[in-house]
Amino acid sequence: MSDSRMALLIDYEYCTGCHSCETACKVELGLPLGQYGIKVATYGPAQIPGTDKWDYINVPIPTALCDLCENRVKDGKLPTCVHHCQSACMEYGTVEELAAKMAGKSKMVLFTPK
């Protein structure tokens, strides 16, 4: 079944936790200190038990304030978080097209904020 809702795809394998998306979003939405339209959650660094490998995971999570940059998008621009992502690990598109990109690729997450 097709799904034409708009969404954000995060390839968190490549998210460095740089917070550029947070900052760009705060500027776009005019948010005061302590309020966010998207916020990076971090786990680690934590050693994976029984291995010499480490987990260090960063994932930005849209909040209830995210309007998917409706003012920018109606002018044909990308959401500002996607535009400013330092690692180019965020994409904007329909659920259908972004879900197709998840096929065969691990460490991705799809958000439908509204």
How many angstroms separate the Cα of 16 from the Cα of each of 6, 33, 57, 62, 109? 24, 23, 8, 17, 15
Among 7, 58, 91, 98, binds ligand SF4 (CB under 6 A): 58
User: Which element (helix H / strand E) includes 49?
Assistant: none
85 binds ligand SF4 (CB under 6 A): yes
Report how far residue 102's alpha carbon sits from residue 6's, in angstroms, rounded to the nearest whole number: 15
9 binds ligand SF4 (CB under 6 A): no
**Closest to 14 in 3D by CA, of 67, 95, 87, 99:** 87
Copy the structure tokens of residue 53: 């490998």
90 binds ligand SF4 (CB under 6 A): yes
Cβ nearer to ligand SF4, comparing 24 with 108: 24
Among 9, 66, 98, 108, binds ligand SF4 (CB under 6 A): 66
Cβ nearer to ligand SF4, comparing 62 with 98: 62
Binding site for ligand SF4 (CB under 6 A): 15-21, 24-25, 28-29, 37-38, 40, 58, 60, 62, 66-69, 79-81, 85-87, 89-90
